[in-house]
Amino acid sequence: LTPVFFNLQAQPGLSNGPSYGPKNYGRESVIADLDRYAYYGIVGVLTGGTDDGDLAMQIRDEQRQGKVNGARLYTSGRGIVARGGGPAGLGNIPISVATAGDARKAVSELAEKKVDAIKLWIDDDNGKGAKLKSDVYGAAIDEAHKRNLKIVAEVFELADAKDLVKAGIDGFVSSIRDRDVDDQLVSAMKEKNVFLAPALSTAEAKFEYADKPSWLGEQTMREVYPAQLSAYLADPVTMNKFKRNPELGALRQQYATAMKNLKKMADGGVRIVLGTNSGSPDTYPGYFEVREMISMVEAGMQPMDVIKAASSVPAAFLGDNDHGVIAVGKVADFLAMPNSPLDKMTNIKDVGSLYLKGAEVERSSMIQNITINVPKITERDRAADALAEAEAARIAAEAKLKHYGKFVLGPAATVRSMAVPTPKGSKADIKAGPPDRITVAMRASAADLREFYSKALPAYKWSAAGNCWQRQHPASNKAETLCVEPANNSAVIQITEK
């Protein structure tokens, strides 16, 4: 027997098969995911700032009145992001703020809606977007605590995590992935009782479909998610899309760092909780909580500690004193399994029975009316994939060639028996002079074209002469001067003879 589980980072309602975003969000999709969570024994979920409008509050209140089933919903409402930042896939769901005053106002408005917690994003997506500044998130944290609300954050960088702990954050709902955590952070989190929900399975989902995952299509997944979904994810068209991601190597390294950091933090006494971010792209509510617990053990945690991280610890954070342990005086919600996950964590996949309030629940009834959209891969998709694969192969082959700045050499432009380099992929228009003129056109910045010629011309026996280049004509031995005028998307080369 194990207690039922709680997830402190979830995105119910946003996914429909491989499709993700606000277009999928609605009452039916949220409740469907809550039923999926409950099927796998996840009886409580805290949303990750991804709730559009007031729908989550309405469903939560209806649940408390006994009108809606599924996993018990706790909502963070709309999360808070820096203006010009935040997850692109969420559209206008998050609240954008620029100042400390904006942040306090956002927290105040969320508190008036009676959210269960506040969510922040402290992640600039590798410099692609804006990130909340310390005075802004500090104001949000202070305002949340004034209103007796817990506040959590998604974070990527170690430096930000340290500053957030100093500012009073209550927990992290993602792993630190830019580098190894140090003893200073571990000690500070332990001292201030800041929790970590590592969301390993979501970090892994960003790259794992590049190679068919060993678990894809296993019985535990197929009970809720159709075989067609597994077939779609295992199709070469889908796999190739992941393989072509230029950030694939970095994502693998980030996951390895997250695993290592979880082990260090757990060993150092940091409070660990279950938090997956399931419902985000290419993750599947309910089943990914199972995957997460297995990954936590693979990272080095003990099975009993993982069970606690998924039950008593998050239940306490949510203020649920009726769940979290199997004990006299607690609500009799628990899972029965034929084999103990304490012996082997993969046994968590085999749920025999779910008991709620002491009565066995027919789990299949929770999901029998749920549908999911699985797109069909068409011949057009396969043709497009073949073209993309050919282009990827070309780029990979070109990467092995010598580069002059950002470009490799293309066919030389020849003027009066003298070769002038051009970048591969460019078009050269030659007009005889005097002076001779070559116009090189390609999609490139002026700076990149300038760098190319500064490095390629010496390979063609042109020597620097002030801002121009010189060489002797191979037949007449007369001095030739070449000047390059780069601009965006073109470079004009002029050759004169003395």
Q: Is 356 helix (H, G, I), strand (E, B) or coil?
A: strand
pLDDT of residue 429: 96
196-253 residue pLDDT tens = 999 999 999 999 999 999 999 899 999 999 999 999 999 999 999 999 999 999 999 9
Question: Which uninterrupted H or E stretch holds 108?
Answer: helix 100-112
Question: Which uninterrupted H or E stretch holds 172?
Answer: strand 171-172
Nearest by Cα to 419 from 469, 381, 384: 469
pLDDT of residue 414: 95
pLDDT of residue 303: 97
Residue keyed to tokens 């068209």: 237
Intra-chain end-to-end CA distance of the chain, in Å: 93
H helix and E strand count, the chain: 17, 24
Nearest by Cα to 7 from 265, 278, 195: 278
CA distance 145 to 170: 10
Spell out the alpha helix ranges (H) of 400-482: 446-456
pLDDT of residue 322: 86
CA distance 109 to 176: 29
pLDDT of residue 12: 98
- Lowest average pLDDT, out of 279-293, 295-309, 354-368, 475-489, goes to 354-368
pLDDT tops 80 at residue 351: yes
65-112 residue pLDDT tens = 999 999 999 999 999 999 999 898 999 999 999 999 999 999 999 999
Give the pair of three-digit tokens for residue 348: 């968590």
Above pLDDT 90, what percent of the chain?
A: 90
pLDDT of residue 29: 96
DSSP state, residue 38: H
pLDDT of residue 447: 96
- The residue-averaged pLDDT of 45-52 equals 97
Displacement of CA 234 from its chain's centroid (Å): 20
Inter-residue contact 202 to 257 (CB < 8 Å)? no
Strands (E), 209-352: 271-272, 334-336
- The residue-averaged pLDDT of 115-122 equals 97
CA distance 159 to 131: 13
pLDDT of residue 17: 87
- The residue-averaged pLDDT of 386-394 equals 96
Long-range contacts of 336-343 (CB under 8 A, 24+ apart): 336/1, 337/1, 337/2, 341/2, 341/293, 341/303, 341/307, 342/303, 342/304, 342/307, 343/303
pLDDT of residue 74: 98
pLDDT of residue 348: 94
pLDDT tops 80 at residue 115: yes
DSSP state, residue 252: H
Inter-residue contact 159 to 180 (CB < 8 Å)? no
Burial 244-253 (b: 16+ CB within 10 A, else e): eeeeeeebbe
Q: Is 423 helix (H, G, I), strand (E, B) or coil?
A: strand
Give the pair of three-digit tokens for residue 418: 């003298």
Tell me which architecture the domain covering 2-379 has in CATH. Alpha-Beta Barrel (3.20)
Spell out the alpha helix ranges (H) of 170-247: 183-192, 200-205, 219-222, 227-234, 236-243
Furthest-apart CA pair in the chain: how many Å?
A: 103
CA distance 280 to 417: 60
Phi-psi category of residue 300: left, alpha or beta, with phi > 0 → left and psi -120 to 50 → alpha: left
Neighbouring CB atoms inside 10 A of 457's CB total 21
**Residue 306 binned pLDDT confidence (cut-offs 50, 70, 90):** very high
Inter-residue contact 425 to 408 (CB < 8 Å)? no
Adjacent-strand bridge partners of 10: 47, 278
pLDDT of residue 213: 93
DSSP state, residue 278: B
309-322 residue pLDDT tens = 999 999 999 999 88
Displacement of CA 205 from its chain's centroid (Å): 8
DSSP state, residue 225: S
**Residue 123 binned pLDDT confidence (cut-offs 50, 70, 90):** confident
pLDDT tops 90 at residue 20: yes
Phi-psi category of residue 417: left, alpha or beta, with phi > 0 → left and psi -120 to 50 → alpha: left
pLDDT of residue 323: 86
Report the amino acid identity of residue 417.
S
CA distance 7 to 277: 9
CA distance 368 to 316: 32
pLDDT of residue 43: 95
Q: Is the peptide bond before 434 cis (omega within 30 degrees of 0)?
A: yes
DSSP state, residue 381: H
